[in-house]
Structure 1
Amino acid sequence: MPFPYFYDVTAWSGPLLENVSGGRSGADVKPRAIPLPQQAEPVAPPVVGAPRTAVWQVSENSAAVESSGWLRWWLGDQGLGFGDLTAEQIAAGVLADYDVLVVPNGPEAEAADSLGEQGRAALTEWVRGGGTLITLRDSSRLAARLGLTSAAFAEPTSDIPGALIRMELDPASPLAAGVGPTAWAMY
């Protein structure tokens, strides 16, 4: 592509994403259908035995707000209870009350600064003591900064959201069962 940034979905194929053959016949389809009455919104029952989960929104910037809003909705929609934590609470040791901390997308430098030295130490100690830290997108850089992951980060040479990327699968992985040697992922 002659430019390094794409806006919106640049590729979409339901069949490719579902790993099934697909295409278009060109036929004029006239399905027999009747309207159904309005259905009640499904409500997930609470998950019994779920880990005690907390969400930490690292910033008030738009990416962090959007990411944490979506995450809170999804956790609630799945019937998973969760608490909201602040950097001050993490520094004060409140993480001891939780099994999992989910950190939505947000700026890593702002996250590290808001935690302060005491908060960074508390988070590191909690993870090394068995706590599960789940970071999304840019907040994953905080885990790298604190030495909690071996992931290495590099700046992309282009940004292609919505592109379909063909992946080779590890046939030994249970996630590859019944899929085949390759699959498509939407970036």
Structure 2
Amino acid sequence: MGVAMIVALVFLLFAVKLADTEIDKSSKNDVYVKDPRITVAPSEVMRDCSLPTTVNYRIPYMEFTISFDCSLAPFSNEHSQKVFRKVSSYRLDGRTVCCDVGVGLQYLHFPHNIRLLVLDGYCINSLPPDTFQQFDSLERLEITASQFEHLASVNFRQLLSLKELLLENNEFGTMESGTIDVLVQL
């Protein structure tokens, strides 16, 4: 099963790299997600931008790492739906994410299934108010080694299932009063 998973991931990475040139030739099973919050420049203008992500099924040894190409619009196809359907946690390394991509959560599949989300090494101005809107089953959020210019109280309001919040080695320029207070379930 391990070899099949690796072959499937290589295929997925190859498909992501080709999506920019073959978008007009996509099969009817491919769904290209259009997100109005994302501005994607033509590939010849956009610099290299990737989002290294560790994907875990919450089963020992069922973990792999993938890099999403942030210069392309998020998309999903039948194969990626199968691979990511049972994923329960993501660890995102924000050190190489382009500024206009934000946190990059739009690249994650099935956010409503995610129980653990780790955001590591980000340097962004602020989180959009609806950043965690689709993560309604999120139980643990870790934000580590990141810099945020501003953190608003609305950022955590949608996290009604959150049981643990770990903020470690972060720098916050400003944080609105009540930002953490909305997490009454902690």
Indicate the structure whose relative CO is greater, using CA pairs within 8 Å and at least 6 residues apart. Answer: 1
TM-score clears 0.5: no
Higher helix share: 1
Pick the structure with greater CA Rg: 1
Structure with the largest fraction of strand: 2
TM-score by length of 2: 0.26
